[in-house]
Amino acid sequence: MASLRARELRRNMTPPERRLWAILRRKRLSEFRFRRQQQIGPYIADFFCPRAKLIVEVDGGQHGEEEAMWYDWKRTKWLESRGYRVLRFWNVDVMKHRGDIACAIECALAHTPSGQPAAGHLPPQGGKENA
């Protein structure tokens, strides 16, 4: 069932997800391959680099609501407990600051931990999204 959901999400990417995918696809960043809408355990990551164990999430304004923030926190803790790192960016930042987003992801790829869980959750970069 989750694989069907992942397939549906790949077909119906949001504009910010499409914009980020244009940066990540075909090993455009530091020769690292990313997958989109990848199932990891009970969750589906927006973008996932298996080699770096890096997950990149693109969050809309609904992620600023208390219930969604709690869900995201629990989800991130579950992923980190399995050795994954999570980067989060607001939709608006992906649309307006593409170069900065690419630079932040490249930095994370350059500092891939060797088999150790990440130290902490990285919240969306920048301020709260305005819509």
- Whether residue 7 lies inside any domain: the answer is yes
- Whether residue 26 lies inside any domain: the answer is yes
Residue 106's domain comprises 2-110
Q: Who has greater pLDDT, 9 or 128?
A: 9
DSSP-assigned letter for residue 23: H
Which CATH number belongs to the domain containing residue 99 in this structure?
Answer: 3.40.960.10
- Whether residue 62 lies inside any domain: the answer is yes
- Whether residue 72 lies inside any domain: the answer is yes
Q: What is the pLDDT of residue 117?
A: 36
Q: What is the pLDDT of residue 89?
A: 94
The gap between the terminal CA atoms of the chain, to the nearest Å, is 31
- Whether residue 33 lies inside any domain: the answer is yes
- Whether residue 53 lies inside any domain: the answer is yes
- Whether residue 131 lies inside any domain: the answer is no
- Whether residue 117 lies inside any domain: the answer is no
15-59, pLDDT tens digit by residue?
899 999 999 988 877 789 999 999 999 999 999 999 999 999 998
82-100, pLDDT tens digit by residue?
999 999 999 999 999 999 9
Within the chain, strands assigned E span 35-40, 43-49, 54-59, 85-90
Based on the structure, what is the number of domains in the chain?
A: 1
Sequence-separated (6 or more) residues with CB below 8 Å from residue 106: 29, 30
Strands 43-49 and 35-40: antiparallel
97-129, pLDDT tens digit by residue?
999 999 999 999 988 665 443 334 444 544 444
